[in-house]
Structure 1
Amino acid sequence: MSHSHSHSHLHAHDLNGRNLLISIFFNIAITVAQVIGGLLSSSLALLSDALHNFSDVVSLIISYIAHKLVKRKASLKRTFGYKRAEILAAFINASTLIIVAVLLIIEAVKRFQNPQQIESNLVIWLSVMAIIGNGFSVLLLKNNAKSNMNMKSAYLHLLTDMMASVAVLVGGLLMKFYQIWWIDSVLTFLIALYLIWMGFALLKASTKVLMLFTPDSIPVDEIVTKLNSFETISNVHHVHVWQLNEEEIHFEAHVDFEKDISLTEFDVIRSKIEDFIYNKYDINHVNIQPEFGKSDTKDIIVQD
């Protein structure tokens, strides 16, 4: 059973692309300003924020490309089209979050051992600019991040960078008024830990989809038990459940019937199965292989 996408969904898809483009240009400007400012002020926190902003630019570009690829039609060579492009983008972006965080921790430890005096005024003004720019980008992507893993990966990059800029601002104020130079390294270290925490959750979620794991919300045992209670169905086995992308969950199974039914009878039962699975579990693609008197393995899960 498949379900067509509405016009409003297509409009939202175009809006996502526009918002990603706007965010890309904002973050390019912020990154350039922070690199220059970080070098002039000798602020590691500002340079680390610039590095994170650069990873934002890369992640946003990846998200935008994936966003465009998804709209390409399927073909004989690509029967699913590019429906998993956004999941792959989410995986890549989550990985870069963690890699950037590890690099920041290494630099923070080095700088903590050898703290340097920093031009705090420049740090303060540039961090304020980054907060405003990233804050606007976060608002652009916030709504769509709830339902799309690709948009969520871009949103998390921007959100964590906005929070990092807030930390840099606090550090700049402490350095300006209290000359606490080591705070620059400590804040960098804390920013990196937060990036690892946020990135790992998204990396785990996207990996589950890429590995064809059963979605956490789908109780396979319960579905099989319910289907086994259907009239004329003897046994449901050899079950596979996987998530193709944000909008499609697939279910396939072998269904053993109590008697040798006709194709017309099977179509009626198949339709009932599809409606039940869709309405109860929101699984929108169902593939049933009918069987009668076949001596195959009747286990729910069979290793192919």
Structure 2
Amino acid sequence: MPHDHSHAHIDPKSGDRRVSVAIWANGLLTVAQIVGGILSGSLALIADALHNFSDMASLVIAFAARKIARRPADDRMTFGYGRIEIVAALINYTTLILIGFYLIYEGGMRMIDPPQIQGWTVVILGGVALVVDTLTALLTYSMQKGSVNIRALFLHNLSDALASVAVIVGGSLIILYDMRWVDPAITIGIALYILYLAITEIGGPIRTLMLGSPPDLDCGAVINAMRGIDGVADVHHVHLWQMQEHEAALDCHVVLTNEGWTRIEGIKAELKACLKDRFGISHSSLEFEHEDHAHMNAALYGHGSSARKEETG
């Protein structure tokens, strides 16, 4: 199956403006929620504030990452700076996990001895938070389809909006029925949801940074397609990875038959066209070997030997 690398394209300047607006909105909201949480005694409100603060930090990281990622390759970063957005996503998901565990601990402590809480302050600030979180999610929605960095932000904002709804419900129950235990219970619920989002999404950035093969690319199909080119006897020492989020790369050794060796440039062009057109692999480095002098016992993947010891001589 062809490997589709299509994704949404947002004008960089327009995207930067959206992220800037989101940074200011989350920064102001965080201050308001922390003050309100302290005055009202609501841990759920402070939990939402901490989540919003992590969003603001995430937005700052993402904003900087977007700027840095546009730099061209140089002698220090010969692959370019595009992977900084993957690093930013990993940082953002990691902070979400840490915040989630902290909130579970604090919520558990308050379940034992629920404090007095001013419900109206919780409801009003929760409503303001819901508006800001929804606005931020809308600003980043169209951008997140083409960037793991912005997707991390979008999920932050989406979980914030849902958390704000929970905070409003909790404040209403406190006003109506003095159910103070609802506040730490909602805090724990928010924390569990944060953990779920972060843990299910963090694998993608880790896989990319570990030079894993693109998750939507069938490595076996790529190898079989290469082996199917007339004049190719075999391939080995295959490396498939993502140079950046939407740019797959391959390098490998290609073993040619005696007949194929006589038209090596034509086979190279055919291989590169196949890789690009069928699988979206735009960057490929191919090392050719004659079948009479090919590596013995070479591993299909990696750069080692399939045997216990390398053949010598």
- TM category (shorter chain) comes to over 0.9
Matched residue, 2:231 = 232
Q: Which amino acid aligns with 2:98?
A: I
Q: Which amino acid aligns with 1:118?
A: I
1:140-166 CA-partner distances (Å, limit 9, x unpaired):
100111121000011111111111111
* Residue 112 (str. 1) matches residue 111 (str. 2): yes
Matched residue, 1:266 = 264
1:86-111 CA-partner distances (Å, limit 9, x unpaired):
00000000000000000000100011
Matched residue, 1:301 = 301
TM-score by length of 2: 0.90
Q: Structure 1 unaligned runs (5+)?
A: 1-7
Q: Which amino acid aligns with 2:269?
A: S
Matched residue, 2:308 = none
Q: Which amino acid aligns with 1:269?
A: I
Matched residue, 1:43 = 42
- SS of 1:150's equivalent in the other structure is helix
Superposed displacement of residue 282, structure 1: 1.8
1:109-157 CA-partner distances (Å, limit 9, x unpaired):
0111110121111110101001101101100100111121000011111
Flag as ranges the 4+ runs of structure 1 deviating above 3 A: 260-263
Q: Which amino acid aligns with 1:235?
A: D
Matched residue, 1:214 = 213
* From 272, 278, 281, the counterpart of 1:280: 278
Q: Which amino acid aligns with 1:161?
A: D
The aligned length equals 295
Superposed displacement of residue 217, structure 1: 1.5
Matched residues, percent identical?
34
Q: What is the CA–CA distance in structure 2 between the aligned matches of 1:59 and 1:302, rounded to whole Å?
A: 35
1:224-254 CA-partner distances (Å, limit 9, x unpaired):
1221121111111110000122221101111
Q: What is the CA–CA distance in structure 2 between the aligned matches of 1:109 and 1:54, rounded to whole Å?
A: 22
Kept in 2, the 8 Å contact 1:242–1:249? The answer is: yes
Matched residue, 1:178 = 177
1:72-94 CA-partner distances (Å, limit 9, x unpaired):
12111210121100000000000
Matched residue, 2:287 = 289
Q: What is the CA–CA distance in structure 2 between the aligned matches of 1:256 and 1:109, rounded to whole Å?
A: 62
- SS of 1:236's equivalent in the other structure is strand
Q: What is the CA–CA distance in structure 2 between the aligned matches of 1:295 and 1:236, rounded to whole Å?
A: 10
- SS of 1:277's equivalent in the other structure is helix
Kept in 2, the 8 Å contact 1:94–1:153? The answer is: yes
User: Matches of residues 190-201 of structure 1 in structure 2 within 5 Å?
Assistant: 190-201=189-200
Matched residue, 2:202 = 203
Q: What is the CA–CA distance in structure 1 between the aligned matches of 2:211 and 2:170, rounded to whole Å?
A: 44
Q: Which amino acid aligns with 1:241?
A: L
Matched residue, 2:26 = 27
Superposed displacement of residue 17, structure 1: 1.5
- SS of 2:70's equivalent in the other structure is coil
Kept in 2, the 8 Å contact 1:236–1:298? The answer is: no
Q: What is the CA–CA distance in structure 1 between the aligned matches of 2:294 and 2:279, rounded to whole Å?
A: 30
Kept in 2, the 8 Å contact 1:37–1:123? The answer is: yes
Q: Which amino acid aligns with 2:91?
A: I
User: Matches of residues 249-264 of structure 1 in structure 2 within 5 Å?
Assistant: 249-259=248-258
Kept in 1, the 8 Å contact 2:238–2:303? The answer is: no
- SS of 1:81's equivalent in the other structure is coil
Q: What is the CA–CA distance in structure 1 between the aligned matches of 2:106 and 2:15, rounded to whole Å?
A: 35
Matched residue, 2:4 = none
Q: What is the CA–CA distance in structure 2 between the aligned matches of 1:32 and 1:163, rounded to whole Å?
A: 19
Matched residue, 1:5 = none
Q: Which amino acid aligns with 1:148?
A: S
- SS of 1:244's equivalent in the other structure is strand
Kept in 2, the 8 Å contact 1:239–1:252? The answer is: yes
Superposed displacement of residue 274, structure 1: 1.8
Superposed displacement of residue 260, structure 1: 6.6
User: Matches of residues 7-156 of structure 1 in structure 2 within 5 Å?
Assistant: 9=9, 12-156=11-155
Q: What is the CA–CA distance in structure 1 between the aligned matches of 2:294 and 2:227, rounded to whole Å?
A: 18
Q: What is the CA–CA distance in structure 1 between the aligned matches of 2:264 and 2:161, rounded to whole Å?
A: 56
Q: What is the CA–CA distance in structure 2 between the aligned matches of 1:52 and 1:152, rounded to whole Å?
A: 16
Q: Which amino acid aligns with 1:58?
A: A
Q: What is the CA–CA distance in structure 1 between the aligned matches of 2:298 and 2:148, rounded to whole Å?
A: 35
Kept in 2, the 8 Å contact 1:146–1:152? The answer is: yes
- SS of 1:284's equivalent in the other structure is strand
RMSD: 1.6
